[in-house]
Amino acid sequence: MATPTTLDKLEADSTTSHLITVTFRVRRFNPEVAAEASWQDFQLEIDPKERVLDGLHKIKWDQDGSLTFRRSCAHGICGSDAMRINGKNRLACKTLIKDLNPSKPITVEPIKGLTVLKDLVVDMDPFFQAYRDVMPFLITKGNEPTRERLQTAEDRERFDDTTKCILCAACTSSCPVFWNDGQYFGPAAIVNAHRFIFDSRDEAGEQRLEILNDKDGVWRCRTTFNCTDACPRGIEVTKAIQEVKRALITRRY
């Protein structure tokens, strides 16, 4: 087995330390301390192959324990740590320092459009309310079969992309329509409606389409593709929204 060069380089690099100094410019807010939010700079030593989340931990653990953010799994699955990093929505645990031009300060802010509670922590309740409003669960009629419902591999593939959603809110909080009007369902709720509308086993597509036909529903989407760019799971969010719009017109799904 020939060992390719990227692997060689990765392994060789591991024996030496490559710490660099970076500045994290973090948006701080704590109403117990001050009414207004402000920027605070932190300098830290970090390996560029580490994650932005590692940098935030270094600050919290070594410099300022009051820095507050949510995180859990640290590898892009739990959806806790969506934040605005250098002006773009990303997961802090999936963003490596080396991919950010660390010679300049790295800005870290809470995601937009949701009320900031403290530092990088926002109120997620409106986000989850919009999700709940699209009836995000399988609805079927008639008697249940004894064994599993059958579904062809093609029918299963039809909604595969939208099953990847981790409800991190990176898409919804990158949407200019949502920023201006929090009543809009937002991309994540539509993605989760799509996941059921296009599931061949589900029998409540019409009801979900009617919910999204609302004035705060899919028609508010201006196809800016911010959501697709922001999705850390690579879901084609805008395409899913377009498919829901088309289903509303054709009533075929």
Partner 1 sequence: MKIHKYDTVIVGAGGAGMRAAIESTKRSRTAVLTKLYPTRSHTGAAQGGMAAALANVEEDNWEWHTFDTIKGGDYLVDQDAAEILAKEAIDAVLDLEKMGLPFNRTPDGTIDQRRFGGHSRNHGEAPVRRSCYAADRTGHMILQTLYQNCVKEGVEFFNEFYVLDQLITEVDGVKKSAGVVAFELATGEIHVFQAKSVIYASGGTGKFFKVTSNAHTLTGDGQAACYRRGLPLEDMEFFQFHPTGIWRMGILLTEGARGEGGILRNKDGERFMEKYAPVMKDLASRDVVSRSIYTEIREGRGCGPEGDHVYLDLTHLPPEQLDAKLPDITEFARTYLGIEPYTDPIPIQPTAHYAMGGIPTNVAGEVLSDNDTVVPGLYAAGEVACVSVHGANRLGTNSLLDINVFGKRAGIAAAEYAHRSDFVELPENPAQLVVDQVERLRESTGNERVAEIRKELQETMDANVMVFRTEQTIKTAVEKIAELRERYKNVSVQDKGKRFNTDLLEAIELGNLLDLAEVMAVSALARKESRGGHYREDYPNRDDVNFMRHTMAYREVGKDGKDSIRLDYKPVVQTRYQPMERKY
Q: How many residues bind partner 1 (CB under 8 A)?
A: 66
Pick from 26, 44, 80, 97 the residue near partner 1 by CB under 8 A.
80
**Nearest distance in Å: CB 214, partner 1:** 19
Pick from 31, 34, 45, 225 the residue near partner 1 by CB under 8 A.
31
Pick from 201, 214, 236, 239 the residue near partner 1 by CB under 8 A.
201
Query: Is residue 141 part of the contact set for partner 1 (CB under 8 A)?
Result: no
The span from the CA of 211 to the CA of 222, in Å, is 18
What residues between 150 and 189 interact with partner 1 by CB under 8 A? Answer: 150-153, 156, 159-160, 163-167
The H or E element that residue 39 is part of is: strand 38-46
Q: Which amino acid is at 23?
A: T
Q: Are 131 and 187 contacting, i.e. CB atoms less than 8 angstroms apart?
A: no
Question: What proportions of the chain, in percent to the nearest 5, are helix, strand and coil?
Answer: 40, 15, 45
Following DSSP, what letter does each residue of 179-237 receive, concatenated? HH-TTS--HHHHHHHHHHHT-TT---HHHHHHHHTSTTSGGG-----HHHHH-TT---H
Site for partner 1, rule CB under 8 A: 1, 3-4, 6-7, 10-12, 14-15, 30-33, 60-62, 64-66, 68-80, 94, 96, 117-119, 121, 124, 128, 132, 136-138, 144, 147-153, 156, 159-160, 163-167, 196, 199, 201-202, 234
